[in-house]
Each structure stands twice: as structure tokens, then as C-alpha cells.
């Protein structure tokens, strides 16, 4: 949502408490931070900026981020960056990464059969299978989360989220062509405290989250958090009443922080999340479009959008009544972060993480044009190591360097089955996949003079992936055996210059790389994709630190784009399977503006505007249709947000905060290149409103809210024969207390 929902002075007071010594860089954030950028209007504003001393009357607060793996103010970080505070996320009801679509410009996040799909500036990976990799590096406290189904479970007790837009090939490595999303959790502190937040709403929504922080002694501090969130299905039953996609999730985390000295700490973390409820559901293509069905039943030829109303749009596809539907997916993570200092010159960080993800689902719906049920189970285990060295202090030359290792083993068993009446079809897959990545990286910043800085970074990566499936969609085989290797060196060159103490301009040239892979039906390989990005921007604080404003312009040269579609060699589902190919090259140009204006002590306005002009170069996906020059998928031409909050203060110390906001989103495409079918989601608007009462001394708060007032239903993902859709209008109450 475009609103800031940092709710109340009480919650802000909690967010601003001093962090512990080990994580001194992690200040609590409770507002949206303006991101990078450039443009003549902003440069003119830079020249007329008012005095830059912070106002004593509720000024905006500077935020320290670690986006470049070193602590620095967000306003001095020379890249496109949005920061979302934990209070904002909690008070807006953000229960997973999908909510970031409404909180950051040029970001489109959805789920496909319970797995996360992230598009940033039009760069996205649609292969959420065991052989696929995301185009966005998703990290929790610096630990990379490779499986898209495991990226939905860490949204509890967060200090902040950093959304980095643009390729991050130097510091974040492979599979960061779109950018990076960093979840930073709250760490143990030296104060005994706790918090409970609850929520009830329509669609049977229930949510409760709790946290307790316990300083055991001078050496050991503990912090534990847990959350349970559920709601009924947003879909309306179709031809029968088999359970539809809903949410019934739990998650818990325990931190143990050992402080051996002011410069040596060891943070140990255990985390577990469970996604329950019913399996994935879809709605038919014809809920939104008219068109001639293609022979395989997966798509429509020349689809035309028809607004049939929210009730029809939410009506589910046919499902079998005798197979049931459930989801029991569990992710367990163990993390270790050891920090120390060598002498007075070098900080050393060693991070280790082990993530085990278990899948157990029965999805019941329409696939490949037929009602089918899909049992799926398996497990994956990933292990990551990162050894990092940072220069200490603030010398003229600052640097970071490190080594990285990633290893993952995956097994999946998935079968698509039909039942009578109709053709009997069984499509079994039992793949085993092993992935490994090794990298060395470094980045240094040289201060040419007090105002000018030059940054250069480089990373060299070697990836390999092997797979084996004796069935690969056929009960009798043959399956496939595949092995691919790739290596790449990425770089970043950036300049940033202080026009004034609180106004910075920057320009950068950077590259990103996503590893190649193979297909699970034939083992055929596809190449890595690469992006070269040119970006320029300005960040500044104006009007006596009441206005934080940023803007960026960017241009991408996008080569060997990886596109995934369902390909059918015959007219029945038995001949169908997912296929990833290297499609057309593309260019993406865009502008982003984001800001916060504290107009008075009681009035705050948030705003953003972003464009993305992403076009295919010469491209005929099926050898006949010509998509050359057409808009790429998941890249709306524009999106904009505007939010307003007013605070009413009472003599008792209590307060009421009223907020309203809206987000406009341009039209975008979801496409199947194999059939040359393009589904165009028209432009839309979603608006939210909330009113929050906070008691004196911040003892508790109560909030009433409504989201998506327009009840706009959007198509968010494309599956064979149907769509995954966004949430309808929801209303509810939140309340919380802290001690």
C-alpha cells in the first residue's frame, strides 16, 4: 500500500530505541525512504535547498542501511533503494513479500501455486520449479533463500526491509539481475521487553504475533518471536466445493546473541515456518478474457479482456471432489553470524546458513486444459557460507571483500492425474537436482576529495547444476540426465558527489548475471541471461529536513532473456511440459521518483512515481507471431502512489492517526510464448484507509482499516489454463500492546 502505516508515536518510540552493539548499523525504520535518482527538476531543487540542519519539530529521521554490505545512510547509498520499517510493515498487515508490490515503486510481486515470483523493473523469473532460480536475490539477515516457496515465511519481528532495484551482480552475485530484497530482523537487545499484535477481519482473517526480548546477562541476550496468520479463500467456489487456496501459516524465530567483547559477537538463529491450508487454486482464463481456445486447452488465441465483475473474476476453476486439497510446506533454517575485528583496521564477518525446505501438497484444479489433481512432495537442503572483510573506520579508501559458497540438493516428486470422465492422463516427474556456486567479490570506494567518491566493484562466479529424472513426464520414460556449467565476471563503477551536505548525485554502470539451466522434460539447456545497467540519480533532504526526495533514471541492455512457457507437442495434456528458452534481447528504460514530506508536525505525505519502458527486440516466439517492439511481461508503463496521514494529539498524550492512500498501476502483460498468447491486465487503482488510536504512554493501540477499497481483482500469475489472482477488498481491526 502506498500509505505509511507507522501508526503512532508509541510505536515510533519503540522503533527508534538504540540497537545492540553488534548491529549498531541497524536503526529502526518507520517511514519510506526516498530512492535514488536524477532529473532536471530535482537538480534545480538541489540548487535552492534550504538549510540542512534537522528541524526540532518532528523532522524526518535518517536511516542506516547495509545494502552495500557496509553501514551507511540510505541517503548516501548510490543506488536505487527503498527502505520499509518493521512498524510500517506490521501496521499495514504485510504478512509476506507480496505486500511489497504496494510499498515500493516498479516492484510487482505475486505467487504462482504458492511460490513467490518477484519482478523488479520488468525483470522476473517465472520458473518456480526445482530447476529454476529467482531473478531477485532474496536474503534474510544476509542469508540467501534459494527456494521460492521458502521466501514467504520470514515476515515476523522485522527491523526493516531493503528493496534494491537494478542488477546487483557485484555484492549479491548470481540470480540478482532484477535486484535484491533484504529482510533484516530485530536482534536481541539489553532491555527486557515484549509485544503482542493481533488482527481480525473479513474472510475469516485472524493474525497474532508476539515477541519477547530477554537480556540474560552481560554476555547473552535472547529474542524470540512467533506469528500465526490465517484467512479463508478469497475465491468463490466453482463447479464443486473442494477446498480452495487459503492461508493457515505459522512461523517462529529465536535469536541468541553472545557478546564476548565490544568487537566480537556471535549471533545464532533458529527459524521455522509452516505454510498450511488448502493447495493452490486458479481461476479460468475465461473469467477475464474471451478468445478461441487453443487445441491443448492451455491458452486462448487473441484474448480480449472483458470486465465481468469481481464475483465472476473470483470464481474458481473446476476441481475434483474426491481427491481433497491440502498444503503442508515447512522450512527450517539455522544461521550463524560471527563478527570480530582484526586490529583496528579490518572487520571480519563469517555467515553460515542451512535451510531445509519440505514440500507436501495436493493441488486440485485445472491444469493443461483438464481438471487434474497434483500431489507433490519432496525436500531441498541448501548450505551457504560467506566470509567477508570490511575496512574499519572512515579512511579515504574504504572497501569490502569476500568469498562465497552455495550448495543445494533438491528432490521432488510431482504427478498430474486426471480422472473419469475424460481422458486418463498421468504425468509423473521425479527429479533430483544439485546446484553449486562459488564466488569471490570485492568493492572499494575512494574519496577523491571531501565531496567526490568513486566506487569500483567486481565479482567472479562459477556455477554448475546437474539433474536427473528417470520419468520426466512419462510412466515409461525415457527421462533425462543433464549438467550445465557457467562462469561470469560482473562489475560496478559508480561516482557520487555531494552538491550540498544533504544532497547527493550519482551515476553508475553495473552488470548482473543469472545462471543458465536445463529443462525438466528433455534436459535441453538454456544460456545465462545478462543485464548491463546505466543509472543516474539524486538523493536529498530539503526544507529543513522536512522533505526527503530522490529520483533515478535507468537504461537496461537485457540479453538472452530466459522465458518459461508450457509447451505441448500434441493436442492432449500428456504431451505438455514447461520449457525455458532464451528469448529476445530487450531494452528497459525508466524513471523513478519517491519522497516523503513532513508538511507539519501533524501532516505527512508520501508519494512515488515510476515508469518502465521495456520492449522486446526482434522476436517471434512461435515462429509466426511478431512481438518485436512490444512491451515485455510484468513491466507496467507506470505506477504511482500518494498517501496522506494526519495526527490528532490529545492533552492526555493519546493520539489518533488517520491515513488514506492510493496506488495507480499501468497495464501489463502475462504471456505464454509457446502459444503466442498475451493476456493484458488493464490499468487499475487500489486505495487503502486506516484510523489508529494510541493510548497515552503508548500502552496499546487499536486500528481499523480497509484495503483495496475499489475491490479491484488483478491477474497476478499465469498457469496452464488459468490465472492466480490478487486479493479483493478486505476490512478489519488490529490491536497491540507492548511492555
DSSP codes, 409-458: EEEEEEEEE--SSS---EEEE--EEEEEEEEEEEEEEEESSSSEEEEEEE
Q: What cell does 516 get? A: 543458465
Cβ contact 517:523 at 8 Å: no
Segment (H or E) for 80: strand 80-85
Q: What pLDDT, on the 0 to 100 scale, is given for residue 369?
A: 64
Cα gap 367→356, rounded to integer Å: 28
Q: What cell does 61 get? A: 529521521
Cα gap 668→122, rounded to integer Å: 10
Report residue 631 CA to chain centroid gap. Answer: 22
Low pLDDT (below 50) residues in the chain: 1-56
Cβ contact 268:336 at 8 Å: yes
Q: What pLDDT, on the 0 to 100 scale, is given for residue 2?
A: 37
466 φ/ψ angles, rounded to the nearest 5 degrees = -130, 150
Domain boundaries, the chain: 9-188+327-643+668-686
425 φ/ψ angles, rounded to the nearest 5 degrees = -135, 135
Segment (H or E) for 733: strand 730-738
Q: What pLDDT, on the 0 to 100 scale, is given for residue 51?
A: 33
Sign, CA dihedral 213-216-218-223, equals negative
Pairing of strands 136-140, 179-185: parallel
Span 9-188+327-643+668-686: which CATH code? Answer: 2.40.170.20
Whether the pTM exceeds 0.75: the reply is yes
Alpha-carbon distances, residue 342 vs 25, 345, 361 (angstroms): 19, 7, 49
Q: What cell does 341 get? A: 575485528
Query: Cβ–Cβ contacts within 10 Å for residue 433, how many?
Result: 23
Cα gap 37→59, rounded to integer Å: 22
Complete DSSP assignment for 543-593: TTTTEEEEEEEEEEEEES-EEEEEEESSSSGGGEEEEEEE---EEEEEEEE
Q: Cis (ω within 30 of 0) for the bond into 405? A: no
> What are the strands, taking DSSP E only, across 128-170?
136-140, 143-144, 158-165
Cα gap 410→429, rounded to integer Å: 13
Cα gap 317→74, rounded to integer Å: 46
HSE-CB for 704 with a 13 A CA cutoff: 3
Cα gap 575→568, rounded to integer Å: 5
Strand 283-284: give its sheet, edge to edge.
Answer: 283-284, 722-725, 715-719
Strand partners, 600: 603
Pairing of strands 655-665, 684-694: antiparallel
* Contacts of 420 by beta carbon, 8 Å cutoff, 6+ apart: none
> What are the strands, taking DSSP E only, across 418-561?
426-429, 432-447, 452-469, 480-500, 503-514, 517-518, 525-526, 529-542, 547-559
Cα gap 316→509, rounded to integer Å: 46
Amino acid at each position: 500500500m502506498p500509505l505509511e502505516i507507522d501508526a503512532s508515536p508509541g510505536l515510533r518510540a519503540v522503533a527508534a530505541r538504540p540497537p545492540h552493539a553488534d548491529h549498531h548499523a541497524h536503526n529502526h525504520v518507520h517511514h519510506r525512504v526516498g530512492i535514488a535518482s536524477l532529473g532536471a527538476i530535482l537538480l534545480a531543487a538541489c540548487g535552492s535547498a534550504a538549510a540542512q540542519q534537522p528541524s526540532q519539530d518532528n523532522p524526518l529521521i535518517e536511516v542506516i542501511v547495509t545494502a552495500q554490505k557496509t553501514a551507511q545512510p540510505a541517503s548516501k547509498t548510490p543506488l536505487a533503494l527503498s527502505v520499509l520499517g518493521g512498524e510500517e510493515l506490521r501496521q499495514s498487515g504485510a504478512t509476506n513479500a507480496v505486500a511489497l508490490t504496494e510499498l515500493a515503486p516498479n516492484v510487482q510481486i505475486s505467487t504462482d501455486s504458492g511460490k513467490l515470483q518477484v519482478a523488479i523493473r520488468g525483470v522476473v523469473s517465472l520458473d518456480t520449479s526445482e530447476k529454476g532460480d529467482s531473478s531477485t536475490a532474496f536474503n534474510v539477515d544476509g542469508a540467501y533463500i534459494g527456494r521460492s516457496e521458502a521466501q514467504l515465511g520470514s515476515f515476523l519481528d522485522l527491523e526493516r526491509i531493503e528493496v534494491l532495484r537494478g542488477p546487483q551482480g557485484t555484492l549479491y552475485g548470481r540470480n540478482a539481475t532484477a535486484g535484491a530484497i533484504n529482510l533484516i530482523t530485530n536482534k536481541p537487545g539489553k532491555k527486557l521487553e515484549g509485544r503482542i499484535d493481533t488482527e481480525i477481519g473479513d474472510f475469516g482473517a485472524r493474525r497474532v504475533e508476539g515477541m519477547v526480548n530477554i537480556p540474560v546477562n552481560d554476555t547473552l541476550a535472547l529474542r524470540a518471536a512467533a506469528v500465526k496468520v490465517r484467512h479463508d479463500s478469497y475465491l468463490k467456489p466453482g463447479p464443486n466445493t473442494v477446498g480452495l487456496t487459503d492461508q493457515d501459516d505459522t512461523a517462529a524465530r529465536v535469536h541468541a546473541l553472545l557478546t564476548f567483547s565490544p568487537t566480537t559477537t556471535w549471533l545464532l538463529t533458529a527459524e521455522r515456518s509452516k505454510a498450511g491450508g488448502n493447495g493452490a487454486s486458479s481461476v479460468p482464463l475465461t473469467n477475464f478474457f474471451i478468445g478461441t481456445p487453443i487445441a491443448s486447452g492451455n491458452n486462448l488465441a487473441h484474448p480480449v479482456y472483458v470486465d465481468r465483475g469481481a464475483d465472476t473474476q473470483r470464481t474458481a476453476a473446476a476441481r475434483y471432489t474426491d481427491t481433497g486439497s491440502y498444503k503442508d510446506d515447512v522450512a527450517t533454517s539455522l544461521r550463524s553470524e560471527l563478527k570480530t575485528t582484526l586490529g583496528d583496521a579490518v572487520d571480519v564477518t563469517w555467515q553460515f546458513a542451512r535451510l531445509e525446505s519440505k514440500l507436501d501438497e495436493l493441488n486440485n484444479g485445472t491444469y493443461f486444459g483438464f481438471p487434474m489433481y497434483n500431489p507433490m512432495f519432496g525436500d531441498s537442503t541448501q548450505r551457504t557460507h560467506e566470509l567477508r572483510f570490511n575496512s574499519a573506520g572512515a579512511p579515504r579508501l574504504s572497501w569490502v571483500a569476500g568469498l562465497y559458497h552455495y550448495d543445494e540438493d533438491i528432490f521432488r516428486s510431482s504427478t498430474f492425474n486426471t480422472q473419469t470422465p475424460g481422458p486418463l492422463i498421468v504425468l509423473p516427474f521425479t527429479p533430483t537436482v544439485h546446484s553449486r556456486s562459488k564466488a569471490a567479490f570485492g568493492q572499494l570506494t575512494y574519496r577523491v576529495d571531501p565531496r567526490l567518491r568513486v566506487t569500483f566493484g567486481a565479482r567472479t562466479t562459477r556455477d554448475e547444476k546437474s539433474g536427473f529424472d528417470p520419468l520426466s513426464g512419462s510412466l515409461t520414460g525415457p527421462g533425462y540426465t543433464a549438467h550445465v556449467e557457467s562462469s561470469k565476471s560482473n562489475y560496478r563503477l559508480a561516482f557520487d558527489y555531494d552538491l550540498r551536505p544533504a544532497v547527493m548525485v550519482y551515476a553508475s554502470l553495473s552488470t548482473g548475471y543469472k545462471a543458465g539451466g536445463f529443462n525438466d522434460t528433455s534436459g535441453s539447456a538454456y544460456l545465462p541471461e545478462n543485464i548491463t545497467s546505466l543509472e543516474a540519480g539524486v538523493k536529498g533532504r530539503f526544507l529543513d529536513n522536512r522533505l526527503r526526495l530522490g529520483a533515478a533514471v535507468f537504461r537496461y541492455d537485457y540479453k538472452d532473456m530466459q522465458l518459461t512457457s508450457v509447451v505441448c507437442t500434441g493436442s492432449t495434456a500428456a504431451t505438455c511440459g514447461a520449457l525455458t528458452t532464451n528469448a529476445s534481447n530487450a531494452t528497459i528504460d525508466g524513471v523513478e521518483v519517491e519522497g516523503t514530506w513532513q508538511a507539519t508536525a501533524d501532516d505527512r505525505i508520501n508519494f512515488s512515481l515510476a515508469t518502465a519502458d521495456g520492449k522486446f527486440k526482434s522476436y517471434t516466439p512461435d515462429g509466426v507471431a511478431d512481438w518485436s517492439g512490444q512491451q515485455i511481461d510484468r513491466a507496467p508503463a507506470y505506477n504511482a502512489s500518494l498517501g496522506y496521514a494526519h495526527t490528532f494529539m490529545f492533552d492526555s498524550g493519546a493520539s489518533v492517526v488517520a491515513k488514506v492512500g492510493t496506488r495507480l498501476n499501468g497495464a501489463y502483460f502475462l504471456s505464454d510464448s509457446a502459444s503466442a498468447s498475451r493476456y493484458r491486465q488493464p490499468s487499475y487503482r487500489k486505495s487503502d484507509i486506516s484510523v489508529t488510536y494510541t493510548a497515552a504512554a503508548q500502552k496499546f493501540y487499536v486500528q481499523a482499516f480497509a484495503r483495496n477499497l475499489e475491490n479491484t481483482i488483478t491477474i497476478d500469475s499465469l498457469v496452464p489454463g488459468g490465472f492466480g489472482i490478487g486479493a479483493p477488498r478486505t476490512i478489519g481491526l488490529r490491536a497491540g500492546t507492548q511492555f
